[in-house]
Structure formats: C-alpha cells, structure tokens
Amino acid sequence: MTNPSADAGNVSPDNVVAPLAADTVGRNRLVIKLLLVATFVVILNETFMAVAIPRLMRDLNVTAGAVQWLTTAFLLTVSVVIPVTGFLLQRMNTRPIFVLAMSLFTLGTLIATLASNLEVLILARIIQASGTAIMMPLLMTTVMTLAPPETRGKTMGFISTVISVAPAIGPTISGIILNYLSWRWMFLLVLPISLGALALGARRIQNVTTPHRAPLDGVSVILSGFAFGGLVYGLSHIGVPATPGMLPTGVWIAVGAVFLVVFIMRQISLQAKGYPLLDLRTFDSRNFTVSVLLMAIMMMALFGTIILLPIYLQNVLALSTLQTGLLLLPGGLLMGLLGPHVGRIYDKVGPIRLMVPGVIVVSSVLWAMTLLSPTTRVGYILAGHVVMSVGFACLFTPLFTVSLSSVKPSLYSHGSAVIGTIQQVAGAAGVALFVALMSARTTTLASQGLAPIDALSGGIRVGFLCGAIISLFAVACVFFVQKPARPPDVSR
C-alpha cells in the first residue's frame, strides 16, 4: 500500500500546478459556454418581430407606422447602450454584469408576454434590448481575456455561430409559432429558457476579470445617445412614410452626425485623462481599423440581403411566411455550423486564405442577385443563399478574431463595444440603403406603367445592385487585413 506521508513529501511543483491549471481551463470553458448560450437566446429574440408585424397590427389594432416602433425602439436602445458597455465591463465583474444583462432581458420578456397594448410591448422591447446590448460585448471581451491566442479563432468561431444562426432561425421559429399560436407565445416560449440561463449563470459563472475604478462621464453618455440613436433612427426610417409632427429623416441623420463628431472630440480629450466612455485608441491599430471597416461593409450587405430576400420571396414569388423562413433556414444554419471549423482553419493559416475567397463569393452572389425576376426559380435562390452564407462564414470569424486580437488587452472591452456599435449602425445603414433604392426604383417603374410585381422586382434588383457595388470595396479592403503576429504589448 502506498504511504501517503511519503507521497506528500515528494510532491513536485508540476504535480501541484497541473490540477490548478486544469481547474482554470474547465472554469474558463464553462464561463464561455454559458455566455454563448445566453447570447444565443437574446440575439434569437432580436429577429422575432420581422414576421410578426402584420399579426400585431391586427391583434392590437394599430397602424404599420406605430407597430414599427417595436423594431425601432429595440435598435435605438441597443445602439445607445452598447457604447456604455465599455465602461460597465471595466467597473463590474463577470458574474454581476451577466446577472444584470439576463435579468433585464428576462424582465422584458415577461412584460412582453403579459402586454395588453402596444405601448407596454414597446417598453418590454426596450428592456429586452438593454440586456441584449450588454451580452455581446461581454461575451467577446471574456473570450479575448480567457482564450489563448493560438485558439482564439476556434473560440471566435462559436461566437460567429451564435451571431449567424440566431438571427437566421428567428424568423423561421416565429413563423412556425404564428402559424399555430398567438404572438404571445413568441415570448412565452423564450421565457423559461431565459430564466434557466439566468439561474444557471448566476450559480455557475465565476468572476474571470478584475474590475477597476473607471469614472462615468455623463456628458459622453448623453452625446452617444443622440449620436448613435439619431443615426440609427434616421437610417432605419429612410423610405418609411413620415409620421405627422415628426422631424424629417434627414434631420435625424444630420443631428446624429453632428453629435457623433462632438462625441468623438470629447472621447479624445478624455483619453488624456484616462477615463473615456469609449476609448478610441483601438483605432491606433491599423489592423483593427481595416477589419472594422470591412466588417461594416459586410454587415451592410448582410442586413440589406436579409431584408430584401423575404420581400422578393413573398411579394414577387408569392411564397408564404413559413415557406420563406424555411427557404432561408439552410443558409443560416450552414453559416453557423461552419463557424468553429473556419476558426480552426484560421488558427492554422491566418485570415487571408479564408477571407479572400469569402468576400469574392459574397460579391459574386450579390451580382447574381441583380438578375432576379418574377420567373426566377426558387431553387436558384436557395442555392445562392447557401453559397453566400458560406462566404459570410469565411469572413466573420476571422474578422472578429483579427480585430480584437489587434488591440492591447486593456482595450478589449472598448474594442468589443466599438464592434457592437459599428454592427448596429452598419446594419441600419444597409437596410435603409437597400430599401430606399428599392422603393424609389419601384415607384419609378410603376409610374411608367409596369405591373406591380415587375416594378417591385426591378426595385429589388437595384437594391441588390447597390449591395454588389458596395461589396467591391470589401474586395479591395480584404488584402490589407493581417493576422496579428503576437499579442500586443500590454505596456504599449
């Protein structure tokens, strides 16, 4: 029999450290998995409203302009809260900020389930959006803090899965629910999942970051609200009929742009004092800047495509909501499933070998979509969407990894907030640009005597032509992205 006391006297440093290291690795994996599940739930909810608007108009007896606030209020809240998350992630530890985010989302989901009118439902969406805005930067910052540089691509691949699959299956799930149940079930089915994620995370997530004192600049919060809120609101209402008494869309965009300039100037001045709300020194990295620019272009193309394809499928090819959701589902699922595999390839070969073919594929499909007509076969649309999804999968995982790996660790939280903000503004800009061009061209063709379906089809082609032209800038940018050779110098 082994003598315990003898073994105790022969314990080597390696024997002691190994179990601790294994415990740390296990803890880190658990934290990341819980954050991935929670983020999937909150992002899934973001696209639920897309196919529910007609049902809500009928059930709540409201106009299209009024019910549109369910989407607008959500986008505005996310765009205003995300810039503040850089501050929150510095001041708060992992567990409390997770509990805060999921509590807000769960409370909003509960209120939405019980909502009796549109005003209460809008309030619920605002509360949900507050939690959603925190979760994504929290996930990215935590991954960058915990994942070693040599495996960040694989881990970021799971984030890409969450970002792509959740929005893709959101309309499909809500379409199935609305086909058989009332709109309340969209929230009622999410509520127990959200509660479970909150309870499990509150009990199992451990604090993996070290918070430090970071003063909150109230002026910056107000400026960011007007800047990003004005831009997102203005962009999201391009092409939407003006509501009586509301400022024109162009005024909102101009106000947002002016406040954005003032916000940037204030952040630069606060950087010298050491407490900016959103630290713009992330852009000192050329690699980060190029990656974020490329990400903005791709987000414009992605969100523009997401909005135009369902319009084309339902209003030109006469597919039902459920058929549309099912047709777009394979591409979204494939994009998500490829995320971790793309990440592993990135860890071995770097970004260029993935991103160059990816951006060329996306651009090619967008150019092909400029040929859509009322007689285009559904099978071609399915094939094109699947191929485009593969292209996006080859782009987003490397972009997330390269951008955040190019800034020093102390700026991870701010880099995550910048990326989240850019995603929201670029997504709103893409939707606005595609829809505005589609609407304008459709009106012109209809005035020339074309049948409504032919006019709409022509308008959609112009929208995709815009996306195809924008994608050429992405093709030019992609060659300037480089894989960080090593983690940035913390003392820099």
Give per-residue pLDDT as tens, 129-146.
Answer: 899 888 888 888 887 777
Q: What is the mean pLDDT of residues 426-444?
A: 82
Dihedral sign of CA atoms 50, 388, 467, 278 in order: positive
> What is the model's pLDDT at position 485?
63
> What is the model's pLDDT at position 121?
92
Half-sphere exposure of 386 (CA within 13 A, CB side): 10
> What is the model's pLDDT at position 272?
77
Going by pLDDT thresholds of 50, 70 and 90, the confidence category of residue 245 is low
Going by pLDDT thresholds of 50, 70 and 90, the confidence category of residue 243 is low
> What is the model's pLDDT at position 3?
41
Give per-residue pLDDT as tens, 51-102.
Answer: 677 778 788 888 766 777 787 788 778 878 888 887 787 777 888 888 999 9
Q: Which two tokens stand for residue 427?
A: 């997504």
**DSSP type of residue 183:** T
Among residues of the chain, what percentage have pLDDT more than 70?
A: 88
> What is the model's pLDDT at position 209?
65
> What is the model's pLDDT at position 489?
44
Pairwise pLDDT comparison (79 vs 450), residue with the higher score: 450
Q: Which two tokens stand for residue 401?
A: 């990894």
Pairwise pLDDT comparison (247 vs 385), residue with the higher score: 385
> What is the model's pLDDT at position 242?
60
If one looks up domain 18-204+216-480 in CATH, what number appears?
1.20.1250.20
* Of 51, 170, 187, nearest in space to 108 by CA: 187
pTM across the whole model: 0.76
Mean pLDDT check: name the lowest of 20-34, 176-190, 382-396: 20-34
* Of 240, 247, 331, 304, nearest in space to 463 by CA: 304
Give per-residue pLDDT as tens, 266-313.
Answer: 988 888 777 788 888 888 889 999 999 998 888 888 878 877 888 888
CA angle at 434 for the pair 231 and 303, rounded to the nearest 5°: 75
> What is the model's pLDDT at position 4?
39
Q: 95, 202 in Cβ contact below 8 A?
A: yes
> What is the model's pLDDT at position 309?
85
Give per-residue pLDDT as tens, 33-47.
Answer: 888 888 888 887 777
> What is the model's pLDDT at position 384?
92
Is residue 331 pLDDT above 60, yes or no?
Answer: yes
Q: Which two tokens stand for residue 363?
A: 């651009």
Buried/exposed code over 51-88 (b: 16+ C-beta within 10 A; e: otherwise): bbbebbbeebebeeebbbbbbbbbbbbbbbbbbbbbbb
Q: What is the mean pLDDT of residues 312-330?
A: 83
Q: 62, 234 in Cβ contact below 8 A?
A: no
Q: What is the mean pLDDT of residues 176-182?
A: 82
Is residue 199 pLDDT above 80, yes or no?
Answer: yes
Is residue 17 pLDDT above 70, yes or no?
Answer: no
Is residue 15 pLDDT above 60, yes or no?
Answer: no
Is residue 27 pLDDT above 80, yes or no?
Answer: no
> What is the model's pLDDT at position 239?
60
Q: 16, 140 in Cβ contact below 8 A?
A: no
Mean pLDDT, the chain, integer: 81
Is residue 179 pLDDT above 50, yes or no?
Answer: yes
Give per-residue pLDDT as tens, 348-365.
Answer: 888 888 999 999 999 999
Going by pLDDT thresholds of 50, 70 and 90, the confidence category of residue 492 is very low
Given its phi and psi angles, is residue 115 left (phi above 0), alpha (psi -120 to 50 degrees) or beta?
beta
Mean pLDDT check: name the lowest of 5-9, 149-153, 386-390, 411-415: 5-9
Q: 206, 31 in Cβ contact below 8 A?
A: yes
Tell me the C-alpha distance between 431 and 253, whole Å: 15
